[in-house]
Amino acid sequence: MPIRPIVITGNPVLHTRAQEVTEFNQELRDLVSDMFETMDEAPGVGLAAPQVGVGLRVFVYDWDAEDGTPQRGVVINPTLELSETPTGEADWESESEGCLSVPGERFPLRRAERAVLQGVDLEQNPVHIEAEGWFARIFQHEFDHLDGTLYVDRLAEPHKSDVAGIIKERGWGVPDQSWLPGQDKLEG
Ligand code: ZN
C-alpha cells in the first residue's frame, strides 16, 4: 500500500510518544518508502510515522532551501538541538505553519531559528544536518510529532482557542478520523 491514510488529530498515535526503531528491516524500508509517497501526494514538506498511524521515531522531509538546494531525506531515532525560541507574538505572514494531521489550517507559531538534527538513515549511517529558517522549522514540527506533540498544542491565544473550535466543528478530536492523499481533497 504505497500511499497511506493520514490520521487526524484525536488519534491516540498522534498524542503519544513514539518508540525508538530497533529493527532496520524490510518493514521499516516499506514504511519509509510509503511515507515519501504519501508526503509527495499530500503534498507536504514533512511527514512523521505517527501521522500514518505508526508509533515509531521516523520522519521524512522534502524542502528546497532558500538557495534552491533540494533537501530530501529520512531520519530515524533523531535528536534535535535548537537555538533559543524567540519570545513575542508570531507573525501570520512569515511564521504560519500547517499540519497534514490538522488539514487545511494554518496558524502562526514561534520557532527556533536554528536546529541541528542528528540520527541515522535506513542503512544506519549517521545523519547530521544543520538547518536554519523554514528548514529548521520543519525539523521542529516533525520532531514534535515523535513526542506526541502537534504544532496546535503549542499555539498561543487566541489561536489555541480558534483551533480548538475548528477541531470540534469538523468532528475531529476523536480516534478514528483520517484522510487519503490523492483521493480526499484536503491540504495541510
Ligand atoms: Zn504535522
Which residues is 48 bridged to in the sheet?
59
* Per-residue 3-state assignment (H helix, E strand, C coil) for 152-182: HHHCCCCHHHHHHHHHHHCCCCCCCCEECCC
Residue 167 lies in a domain: yes
Predicted TM-score (pTM) of this structure:
0.95
Residue 185: the pLDDT is 65
Residue 11 lies in a domain: yes
Q: Which residue positions in the chain have pLDDT lower than 70?
A: 1, 185-188
For 39, which DSSP code? H
| Overall number of domains in the chain | 1
Element (H, E) at 61: strand 58-64
Residue 29 lies in a domain: yes
Residue 188: the pLDDT is 46
In a 13 Å sphere around the CA of 15, the CA atoms on its Cβ side amount to 12
Residue 33 lies in a domain: yes
Residue 184: the pLDDT is 79
Residue 127 lies in a domain: yes
Q: How far is the CA of 45 from the centre of ligand 1 (A)?
A: 9
Question: Whose CA is closest to 53, among 158, 176, 184?
Answer: 176
CATH number of the domain that residue 43 is part of:
3.90.45.10
Is residue 142 flagged as an active site residue? yes
Residue 94 lies in a domain: no
Residue 160 lies in a domain: yes
Tens of pLDDT, residues 14-66: 999 999 999 999 999 999 999 999 999 999 999 999 999 999 999 999 998 87
Q: How far is the CA of 46 from the centre of ligand 1 (A)?
A: 7
From the candidates 81, 130, 142, 187, which is the catalytic residue? Answer: 142
Residue 147 lies in a domain: yes
Structural domain harbouring 65: 6-87+99-179
